[in-house]
Amino acid sequence: MTEGPIAGAIVRFAVPLFLGNLFQQMYNSVDSLIVGNFLGNSALAAVSATGTLIQLMIGFFQGVFIGAGVVVARYFGAKLNTPMRQAIHTTFTIALVFGILLSIVGVLFTPTILDWMGTPDDIFEMTVSYIRVYLAGVFSMILYNACTGILQAVGDSKHPLYFLIISSLTNVALDLLFIAVFGWGVFSAALATVLAQLLSAVLCVSRLLRAKDETRLRLKYLGFDRDMVRQILNFGLPSGLQNSIINFANVIVQSNVNSFGTMAVAGLGAYGKIDGFAFLPVTSFNAAMTTFIGQNLGAKEYERARRGSRFGLSCAIIIAELIGGILMLFGPTLIAAFTNEPEAIAYGLDKLYVSAPFYFLLAASHGFSAVLRGAGKAKVPMLVMLGCWCVFRVTFISVMVPLTHSIKVLYWVYPITWSMSAVILLVYYLRADWVHGLDLQKI
């Protein structure tokens, strides 16, 4: 990504990312679609109620692997093979060890956390059964994300796509087999997802084991290199904390959603699945920008990094607003695919009509964050998100929901906090010297 036309480099890298993210999003969405149609709205609510908790559990490590990808991309761009190899093996070791630990902790403490979130009594047992199975195999998701981050950091966004296509089709087949044919309960949707994720992890690890260059994974090199751990945490810890903080705030939001009953949980859960799909093109451009910025700054292509950031940000913002308009037109049909309950559909549409017009603000916030992470400035978006998406969001909800007793407060808090973070990050992007923020010889 350090040579040739900028637009072509970013788009060629972003398109496989988009397709890969599309199939990855299918995991929980297919679960919700099949569960909602075969097992009913209570089962759909049970699956929907787990989304924020799952993201809270794994979001930290996803952020850490973003940082690891930046380190690998920098060394790859600078053609420093020995430290790149050390970064790759340290990243894999972190994923392996902490992925297993997270699975254990998640299984043990799930009921306590769901009780604290105020999960409705009529779906509590189903929710526990679903998320326990899901978290029992979450180590495979973490391992896959780590391996994918390594491959993408060195410019390979195609093989993760191939592996996700295979695993996503497997997930659909197993969902239909377990639920529609065998008639198993909501836990089987999580079991199908876990098995499919395990398949994608195995395929991705196999790819690294068979690589023919310095990106090859060798078991004898596994371990925690102290200097690489420091670098990965230096870049990844802010992103990991940012994810955890945001997801913690979203757990608070979900707790308030739960207080409005099962139909609200089901309806907003259906909207959440649609929202996840809709924003994938923007997410893909942002991931491509992080790698592009990391590689070009590693190669000291400073002006190319600046021009690439402007192109990526413009594309992400324009695409986000176009997607918002499409959702406004087809929202009723899309949400009805998940549930046929009018009350649940109404909840989902209310949330969609508030959020979709402001997608450009969300795209800007994530876009500036992606550029700054690639430039080694991950602490800046972390602090901004902490203030806007956590402290302000939780405070606003804690004050306004008891005063108004209206679920619309939970809708409007999102565009309000998106606008705050977008403005702050825009000012930093324009005024700070983010291009010269890292010297490879000093990290």
pLDDT tens per residue across span 27-59: 666 767 787 777 777 777 777 666 666 776 677
The one-letter amino acid code at 430 reads L
Give the rounded percent of residues in the chain with a pLDDT score beyond 90.
14
Structure tokens at 339: 């549930």
- The C-alpha atoms of residue 379 and residue 418 are separated, in whole angstroms, by 18
Alpha-carbon dihedral 175, 124, 254, 271, rounded to 10 degrees: 30
| Nearest Cα residue to 43 out of 198, 265, 254 | 265
Helices 262-278/121-136 angle, 10° precision: 40
* pLDDT given at position 416: 94
Instruction: For residue range 404-422, list pLDDT tens digits in order.
Output: 888 888 889 999 999 999 9
Q: Can you list the positions of beta strands (E) in 24-69?
A: none
pLDDT bracket for residue 171 (50, 70, 90): confident
Return the number of other C-beta atoms located less than 10 Å from residue 202's C-beta: 15
More confident residue, 14 or 133: 133
* Mean pLDDT across 171-199: 88
Q: Are 335 and 345 in contact (CB under 8 A)?
A: yes
CB atoms near residue 348 (< 10 Å): 28
pLDDT digits (tens, 9 = 90+) for 348-407: 899 999 999 999 999 999 899 989 888 878 788 888 988 998 889 889 988 888 888 888
Q: In this structure, are residues 254 and 117 in contact, taking their beta carbons and an 8 Å threshold?
A: yes
> Any residues with CB less than 8 A from the CB of 402 and at least 6 apart, and which?
none
Phi-psi region of 120 (alpha: psi -120 to 50; beta: other; left: phi over 0): beta
pLDDT tens for each residue of 92-126: 999 889 888 888 887 888 788 778 767 777 778 88
pLDDT computed for residue 202 by the predictor:
93
* Residue that is written with structure tokens 């952020």 in the block: 63
Q: Residue ranges per domain, the chain?
A: 6-431
- Per-residue pLDDT, averaged over 331-360, amounts to 88
In residues, how long is the chain? 443
Question: What predicted TM-score, i.e. pTM, was given to this entire model?
Answer: 0.67
Task: Give the model's pLDDT for residue 12.
Answer: 82
Alpha carbon of residue 378 to chain centroid: 16
Each residue's pLDDT tens digit, 215-247: 888 888 888 888 888 888 887 787 777 777 777
CA distances from 353 to 33, 179, 262, 271 (A): 21, 33, 21, 10
pLDDT at 437: 58
The percent of residues in the chain predicted with pLDDT above 70, rounded, is 93
The mean per-residue pLDDT over the stretch 9-28 comes to: 74
| Per-residue confidence band for 424, with pLDDT thresholds at 50, 70 and 90 | very high
Mean pLDDT of the region 12-25: 74
What mean pLDDT is predicted for residues 325-340?
86
For 21-30, 201-210, 211-220, which range has the lowest pLDDT when averaged over its residues?
A: 21-30
Q: What is the pLDDT of residue 26?
A: 66
Radius of gyration of the chain (CA): 21
pLDDT of residue 146 exceeding 70, the answer is yes
Look at residue 441 and tell me whether its pLDDT is greater than 60: no
Q: What is the mean pLDDT of residues 177-202?
A: 88
Model confidence band, residue 440 (pLDDT cutoffs 50, 70, 90): very low
Say what the pLDDT of residue 137 is.
Answer: 86
439 pLDDT band, cuts 50/70/90, is very low
Going by the DSSP 8-state scheme, the letter that residue 406 receives in this structure is: -
- CA torsion angle 47 52 54 55 (round to 10): 140
Q: Any idea what DSSP says for residue 157? A: -
- What average pLDDT is seen over the chain? 83
Phi, psi of 339 (to 5 degrees): -150, 145
